[in-house]
Amino acid sequence: MVRRMVEYFYTGDYADCNETTKDPSKEKPEHSDEEGLTALCIHARMFALADIYQVDRLQSLAATKYGKALEKGSNIQDLFDSIPDVYQLTPYSVRALRDKAVLALRVKLGQAIRLRQFTVASPSTSGDNSGGAADSLMEVYDEVATETPEFLKDLLSSYIRAPLLGHCYNCNPEQPQPVEPLQMRCMTCGKGGAGLI
């Protein structure tokens, strides 16, 4: 991560996980401790490093890159993997990545449940052990919730503040907005016609 921070000081940017080295003759990154990290984890760690050293522009860049990595369609496993970095490496008052992670997880959980990739009931209570991917996602969720209780609190608070999320074409169709079920009214602009996520 320090190498990426130094790179930022010289170039105003840092390499994502897919751009670990500029020299094509090298196949592996120079630092083996960064092997296997997803883009979301790298951006979360860069954000935390920028927070520690109070490099505001790097912090802003890392938050932007984290958000773009979420938008590019990172999978739910990568998001779960980044949660401990987002929550354990930054103070509670620094909300930029926390809010993005909670919102993205709400969207991805909704999609995973609809696609039956994630089950709400655990295998021990449902009696059916044939869940496969759903069971493994539930195990990952349980692990993250145990390691990072602040995340679980933020996720629950998000559901309490805005039980339903949808897309409002009047506000921004790309950004989820809180909606009401009656006429699918957007709670941001007050107009009807919003769609569920």
Q: How many CB atoms lie within 10 A of CB 54?
A: 8
Q: Are residues 27 and 62 in the same domain?
A: yes
Q: Are residues 150 and 172 in the same domain?
A: no
Query: Total structural domains in the chain?
Result: 2
Question: Contact, 66 vs 81, CB < 8 A?
Answer: no
- Mean per-residue pLDDT, 35-52: 92
Query: What is the model's pLDDT at position 58?
Result: 96
| Residue 195 belongs to domain spanning | 164-197
Q: Are residues 40 and 125 in the same domain?
A: yes
Q: Are residues 153 and 175 in the same domain?
A: no
Q: Are residues 115 and 185 in the same domain?
A: no
Cα–Cα distances in Å, from 124 out to 127, 128, 136? 6, 8, 13
pLDDT digits (tens, 9 = 90+) for 114-163: 776 665 544 444 444 445 666 778 888 899 999 999 999 999 999 999 88
Query: What is the model's pLDDT at position 25?
Result: 43
Of the listed ranges 58-62, 134-138, 184-188, the least confidently predicted one is 134-138
Q: Are residues 133 and 187 in the same domain?
A: no
Q: Are residues 103 and 186 in the same domain?
A: no
Q: Both tokens of residue 149? A: 């209780």
Q: Which residues contact 14 (CB under 8 A, 6 or more apart)?
A: 4, 5, 7, 8, 46, 58, 61
Query: What is the model's pLDDT at position 61?
Result: 97
Q: Are residues 25 and 116 in the same domain?
A: yes
